[in-house]
Amino acid sequence: MKSITRQKSLEQIERGLSDWARVFIVGCGTCTTATMTGGLEQVLEMKEQLEKMDKWVSGWTVIPVACDEMTAVSIEEHGRAIADAGCVLAMTCALGVHRLNQYLERPVVPALDTLFIGVEETPGCFREVCGQCGECVLGETAGICPVVTCHKGLVNGPCGGTNRGKCEVDKERDCAWSLIYARLKAQGRLQAMRNYQPPRNHHRMPRPRVTRLV
């Protein structure tokens, strides 16, 4: 499981940094390293890009897991260089941005857009298989989530836009309901597709979502 990110355009990044001349860059050794959006190599490339924008890079680091509490320690180690910078450019996912904001007084500017939580299906190919909606229907859909796999998130079967097993939005993309149908049929459980699914409760756990173990 990885937090999947994509780098913002350099124009967007430059706009985000427009208030500051000096920048400290933070990458992450976990997800953004795996997706090659915030690993060591990308952090060094970003340093070069920022210098082309006439920014002064006071320092950089790749935190092992930017979203966990050890980030506080990494920040402390680089306290001096961070203090020399006007802001921190985060090449982490949004969870890392959140964590950095907890420990830093300096503004944190994201260099990446966080897209989804995905699993690596084949090397380098990440897929969203769960949208963490709080109302799991996987038991009736042969383990394929229609909420995130169907473009429209339909829970009662395919729309009329499905064509030869593909989605109307993109001929290369599989229609979720064709996949669900094929697998249910193979399992001899087509009956599950006939079950009426009521409108989803979008507030099973209202936002902001928090759970406490004790």
Partner 1 sequence: MASRFRQALNSSEFVVTSEIAPPKGINLETMTHHVDLLKDRVHGLNVTDHQSSVMRYPSLGGCLLIKERGGEPILQMTCRDRNRLALEADLLFAASRGIQNVLCLTGDAVPVGDHKEAAGVFDLDSVQLLKAIRELEAGRDLGGNTLDGDVEFCAGAIVTPEADPLEPQLIKFEKKVEAGAEFFQTQAIYDLDNFASFMEFARQYPVKILAGIVLLSSAKMAQYMNNNVPGIFVPQALIDELAAAVAAPDAPKGAGLAKGIEIAGRMIREIRENRLCDGVHIMAIGREEVVPDILAAAGMADWQPTGRIV
Question: Which positions touch partner 1 (CB under 8 A)?
Answer: 151-165, 168-169, 177-178, 181, 185, 190, 193-194, 196-200, 202
Neighbours of 191 (CB within 10 A): 9
- Indicate the SS3 state at residue 209: coil
Residue among 42, 30, 35, 37 at smallest CA distance from 67 = 30
In this structure, the strands spanning 166-167 and 170-174 are antiparallel
* Positive or negative torsion for Cα 6, 10, 16, 17: positive
Q: Which is nearer to partner 1, 98 or 152 (CB)?
A: 152
CA 33 to chain CA centroid, nearest Å: 13
Min separation Cβ 179 and partner 1, Å: 10
Residues 6+ apart with CB under 8 A from 50: 17, 23, 25, 57, 89
Min separation Cβ 99 and partner 1, Å: 29
Q: Which is nearer to partner 1, 67 or 155 (CB)?
A: 155
Min separation Cβ 140 and partner 1, Å: 13
Q: Kindly state the tokens that stand for 210.
A: 């928090």
Q: Which is nearer to partner 1, 199 or 206 (CB)?
A: 199
Q: Which is nearer to partner 1, 31 or 193 (CB)?
A: 193
Q: Which is nearer to partner 1, 86 or 153 (CB)?
A: 153
Min separation Cβ 36 and partner 1, Å: 27
**The residue to which tokens 């395919």 are assigned:** 158
Min separation Cβ 181 and partner 1, Å: 4
Cross-strand partners of 59: 24
